[in-house]
């Protein structure tokens, strides 16, 4: 959530950034500033009212001591009037603060200056590609057929147990999943990330803290009886560890990694592009989260990009990196890099990771700050990335490594899986 003072002091920059996002209701910026003006006016009146009430209350005691009962009674009447007026002003203040917050919840983050204007994924910039993919995988068959051929994943069994989008991994398919998770976690820990094992459900405050609510409420599974949400990514519980926390500047950066199941309703997703592992309601993912000093957050973002790049290099998969345009970025992000791997059989790019800097957008909601020296507490910058999401990695591994003998497992992962061929 953007701070209203930031909107006020950087209005031209904000409007330019929202235009990059192709965000239409820019009138919300003026509405937020106007609501804040009303809030300030009511707050001033309330403070003055309370000050007068306190002053008269002190005078009542002196008047009573001096035996001036009539004057004291008159003062009591004034105090009652001030009290009633204060209650009215407090109610008005609560209403305008709620209205201001609701307006601010609707305004997305302002893109970083390197982010280009754009409307959709077609406008994203390719900043790196590992290899030419032309001619790769000629005659390759898709991963859902490979999964059936080698008894790795049973999609129909998942439908029986839960419904579409909940596959059951079997035998070497399950072992390969486990190997990938362990490899990703070890790789992250070796890079200085502390592993945490968070809850897989969060409360409403946590959803608002990282921006899933109210923006993505329809995509989250809600446990109504307990008013809890199944997490769409470990980013949500891990980042919320630092909600309402003031960190010491010397403790920055904070680097965490976590494995979790992820749950997404994916409402409205139909067609061939969601077949097999391309889009699921439940999947496994390893996440990296960083809490950074504002001066270092973009250097940290590039470091995270290089880290994910190293993982995909180890997996021996053709991949590319895109810097998302304004119109394709998430609501909370200031800048995002997407990683895509090449699907040999489907002959298309599959997104497997997003690495984002949210600047102070999440931190403002979370009230996560840092304090150094004698200075006042300031908002941190938060970042997160997938390292990695498993379904499409699994799909690409199966499709890109199929041979006449079977499916070859890249060396780094074979060490964890304890097999180098699926046949």
Binding-site residues for ATP: 264-266, 351-354
The candidate with the shortest Cα–Cα distance to 377, out of 368, 386, 365, is 368
376: which DSSP letter?
P
If you search the block for the tokens 């008013």, which residue do you land on?
Answer: 227
Which segments are annotated as binding site? 233, 264-266, 287, 351-354, 384
User: Residue 347: what are its φ and ψ, rounded to 5°?
Assistant: 55, 55
Q: What is the DSSP string of 140-164?
A: ---HHHHHHHTT-EEHHHHHHHT-T
Q: From the CA atom positions of the chain, what is the Rg in Å?
A: 27
As a whole number of Å, the end-to-end CA separation of the chain is 51
Tokens for 364, please give them: 């403002």
Show the 3-state SS of 281-339: CEEEEEEEEEEECHHHHHHHHHHHHHHHHHHHHHCCCCEEEEECCHHHCCCCCCEEEEE
Which segments are annotated as binding site for L-serine? 233, 264, 287, 384
Distance CA 192, CA 197 (A): 16
Output the CA–CA distances (angstroms, integers) from residue 141 to 148, 210, 404, in the order listed: 11, 39, 12
Evaluate the omega torsion of the peptide bond into residue 253 and state whether it is cis, within 30 degrees of 0.
yes
Q: Is the dihedral of CA 331, 297, 208, 224 positive or negative?
A: positive
């Amino acid at each position: 959530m953007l701070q209203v003072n930031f909107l006020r002091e950087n209005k031209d920059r904000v409007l330019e950034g929202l235009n990059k996002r192709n965000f239409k209701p820019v009138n919300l910026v003026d509405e937020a500033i106007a609501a804040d003006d009303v809030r300030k006016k009511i707050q001033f009146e309330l403070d003055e009212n309370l000050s007068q009430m306190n002053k008269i209350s002190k005078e009542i005691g002196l008047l009573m001591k001096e035996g001036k009962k009539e004057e004291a009674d008159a003062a009591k009447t004034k105090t009652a009037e001030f009290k009633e007026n204060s209650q009215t002003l407090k109610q008005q203040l609560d209403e305008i603060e709620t209205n201001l917050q609701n307006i601010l919840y609707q305004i997305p983050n302002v893109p970083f200056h390197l982010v280009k204007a754009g409307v959709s994924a077609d406008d994203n910039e390719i900043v790196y590609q590992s290899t030419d993919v032309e001619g790769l995988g000629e005659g390759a068959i898709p991963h859902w057929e490979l999964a059936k051929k080698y008894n790795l994943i049973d999609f129909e069994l998942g439908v029986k147990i839960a419904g579409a989008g909940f596959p059951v991994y079997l035998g070497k398919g399950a072992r390969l999943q486990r190997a990938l998770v362990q490899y990703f976690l070890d790789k992250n820990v070796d890079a200085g990330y502390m592993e945490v094992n968070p809850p897989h459900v969060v409360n409403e405050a946590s959803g608002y803290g990282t921006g899933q609510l109210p923006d993505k409420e329809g995509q989250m599974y809600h446990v109504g009886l307990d008013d809890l949400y199944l997490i769409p990514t470990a980013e949500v519980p891990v980042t919320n560890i630092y909600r309402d926390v003031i960190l010491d500047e010397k403790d920055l950066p904070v680097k965490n990694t976590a494995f979790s199941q992820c749950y997404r309703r994916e409402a409205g997703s139909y067609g061939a592009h969601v077949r097999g592992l391309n889009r699921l309601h439940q999947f496994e993912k390893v996440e990296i989260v960083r809490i950074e000093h504002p001066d270092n957050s973009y250097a940290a973002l590039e470091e995270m990009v290089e880290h994910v790049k190293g993982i995909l290099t180890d997996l021996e998969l053709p991949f590319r990196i895109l810097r998302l345009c304004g119109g394709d970025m998430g609501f909370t992000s200031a800048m995002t890099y997407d990683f895509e791997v090449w699907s040999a059989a489907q002959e298309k790019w599959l997104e497997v990771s997003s690495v984002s800097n949210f600047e102070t957008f999440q931190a403002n909601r979370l009230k996560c700050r840092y304090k150094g020296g004698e200075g006042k507490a300031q908002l941190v910058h938060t970042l997160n990335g997938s390292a990695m999401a498993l379904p499409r990695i699994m799909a690409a591994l199966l499709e890109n490594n199929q041979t006449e003998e079977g499916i070859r497992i890249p060396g780094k992962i074979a060490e964890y899986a304890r097999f180098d061929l699926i046949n």
